[in-house]
Every structure is written in C-alpha cells, then in structure tokens.
Amino acid sequence: MDLDLTPSARAHGGQRIIAATVLVIEAFVVFFAALVAHQLVPEDRVITWVWSLTTVLALLACSGLLRRGGARPYWAGLVLQLPVILLGLQLGVMWVVGIAFAALYTYGTFTGHRLDAEKDAVDAQVWAARAREEDDGTA
C-alpha cells in the first residue's frame, strides 16, 4: 500500500470529499457523545467537555485545512482518530465508534487518493489525445 497522501490538483477530488465528510460527521458524533458522557459520568464533566470540545474543534479545523492542499492535513486527520478512540475511557461505546471512524477515515482517504490518481491519469490521456487532434487539424 502506498503511504503517499499528496492530494491531486482537483478542486473537488474524491480524497478530499471523503476525508472532510468523515471528519465533520465524526465531530458531530464526538459532540453528541460528550452530551451522553455529561449525564453518565457526572464526576468527570470538566474533563469530558474539555477533551470533547477540543477534539471537535480539531476535527473541524482539520477538515477545513484539507482545502489548502498538501498531505499534512490528511495525516493530522489520521492522528486525530486517537483522541476519538480514547474517548472510550469516558464512554465505553466510543471504543467501537472510534475504531469504526478510524477505519472509515483511513480506508476513505487512501481509496480516495487512489481514485484521484486514476482519474488524473485518465484526464492526462484525454488532454494528450485532444492536443494531438488539434495538432493534426491545424497542420
């Protein structure tokens, strides 16, 4: 498996769309998990809210940074899966939910990268064929 996550130049590539969607949905899930943990673990409310809101803000910021390009936001999104999984210390079901989101983000990001690379290759072939047709037509 290729661990290069350099995004394609596409404005709306599959990798960017999948990763941003997963991160935003994950931010909502973490916020709602904080609401649940607020009631189920009343002795740790401050820790729960600080941890959850920090994670939510980081997930949303990372989602926004995907637009800037480069591989760093994708790797940051991968690292941000850890605090979501570790939210299981506060709310047991988050072990399963966090691992599911981590798998979804990882699979979606790497598959989106592969799909964008394939689309870029097809686009390059089409543009090369059009350039040859234009050269043949004007010669």
User: 84-107 pLDDT, tens per residue?
Assistant: 999 999 899 999 999 999 999 999
pLDDT at 6 over 60: yes
Q: Which pLDDT band, with edges at 50, 70 and 90, does 52 fall under?
A: very high
Tell me whether residue 92 is in a domain.
yes
d(CA 71, CA 66): 8
Tell me whether residue 124 is in a domain.
no
Q: Does the pTM exceed 0.75?
A: yes
Tell me whether residue 49 is in a domain.
yes
Tell me whether residue 86 is in a domain.
yes
Tell me whether residue 126 is in a domain.
no
What is the count of structural domains for the chain? Answer: 1
Region 106-122 average pLDDT: 90
Both tokens assigned to 9: 């130049």
- Let me know the angle formed at the C-alpha of 10 by 22 and 119, rounded to the nearest 5 degrees: 95
Tell me whether residue 96 is in a domain.
yes
Domain that holds residue 22: 14-113
Tell me whether residue 6 is in a domain.
no
